[in-house]
């Protein structure tokens, strides 16, 4: 099913999303990948505030290539989400509403998605040039010294994603593969 959603996601939006839905997102998304997650985790361990409001946040696991002049961003496709599995349950418990990445998640992340009523989207891996066209603005908001791994605030318009794990814990990576398996 194809859907257009304006961010932030409401609880109703999330409930109505099902594994396999093709969704176009419009609104604010934050980027964070390995190094930014590590730093946020260290901040939480020291009881320090996070640099962005996690409640309702959509986090895109992405580190862009540099922007050419006159463009908001360079190539901007998803990175492998499982590297953030160590940190994701904690951020989901703090209210993160969605993650955008690629690849499988571990059982602890799935449980945290269901527990908190969140969603895991995949963007198409390796389509960084195409996906950059759906990003209209980009600004570094934290950890500037991390270069491509800094936290960026993105404004996206009709950013194409697919629901992989919905709020009930259905996982498209498991169900879709079974459908086409002919071993």
Partner 1 sequence: MREISTEKITETISSLCIRANHYLAPDMKNAFCDAVAKERSELGKKILGQLEDNLKIAEEDMIPICQDTGMAVVFIKVGQEVHITGGSLEDAINEGVRKGYTEGFLRKSVVSDPIERKNTGDNTPAVIHYSIVPGDKLEITVAPKGFGSENMSRVFMLKPADGIEGVKNAVLTAVKDAGPNACPPMVVGVGIGGTFEKCAILAKKALTREAGSHSEIGWVKDLEEELLEKINKTGIGPGGLGGAVTAFAVNVLTYPTHIAGLPVAVNICCHVNRHVSAVL
Return residues touching partner 1 (CB under 8 A): 20, 22, 35, 62-68, 71, 74-77, 79-80, 82, 102-104, 122, 124-133, 146-149, 160, 162, 164, 172-173, 175-183
Which is nearer to partner 1, 51 or 74 (by Cβ)?
A: 74
What is the C-alpha separation between 116 and 37, in angstroms, rounded?
19
Output the 3-class SS for the chain: CEEEEECCCCHHHHHHCCCCCEEEEEEEEEECCHHHHHHHHHHHHCCCCCCCCCCCCEEECCCCCCCCCCCCCCCCCCCEHHHHCCCHHHHHHCCCCEEEEECCCCHHHHHHHHHHCCEEEECCCCCHHHHHCCEEEEEEEECHHHHHHCEEEEEEEEEEEEEEECCCCCEHHHHHHHHHCCC
Cβ of residue 53: shortest distance to partner 1, in angstroms? 25
Cβ of residue 5: shortest distance to partner 1, in angstroms? 18
Cβ of residue 160: shortest distance to partner 1, in angstroms? 7
Which is nearer to partner 1, 10 or 177 (by Cβ)?
A: 177
Cβ of residue 174: shortest distance to partner 1, in angstroms? 10
Which is nearer to partner 1, 54 or 162 (by Cβ)?
A: 162
Which is nearer to partner 1, 35 or 52 (by Cβ)?
A: 35
Which is nearer to partner 1, 54 or 146 (by Cβ)?
A: 146
Cβ of residue 35: shortest distance to partner 1, in angstroms? 7
């Amino acid at each position: 099913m194809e859907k257009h959603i304006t961010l932030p996601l409401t609880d109703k939006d999330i409930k109505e999303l099902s594994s396999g839905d093709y969704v176009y997102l419009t609104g604010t998304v934050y980027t964070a990948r390995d190094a930014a997650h590590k730093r946020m985790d260290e901040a939480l361990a020291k009881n320090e505030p996070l640099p962005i409001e996690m409640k309702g946040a959509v986090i895109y696991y992405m580190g862009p290539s540099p922007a050419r002049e006159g463009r908001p961003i360079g190539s901007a496709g998803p990175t492998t989400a499982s590297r953030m599995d160590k940190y994701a349950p904690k951020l989901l418990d703090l209210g993160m509403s969605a993650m955008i990445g690629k690849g499988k998640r571990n059982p602890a992340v799935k449980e945290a998605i269901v527990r908190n009523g969140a969603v895991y989207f995949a963007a198409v891996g390796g389509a960084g040039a195409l996906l950059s066209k759906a990003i209209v603005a980009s600004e570094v908001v934290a950890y500037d010294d991390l270069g491509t791994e800094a936290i960026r605030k993105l404004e996206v318009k009709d950013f194409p994603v697919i629901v992989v794990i919905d709020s009930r814990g259905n996982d498209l990576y498991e169900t879709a593969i079974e459908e086409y398996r002919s071993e």
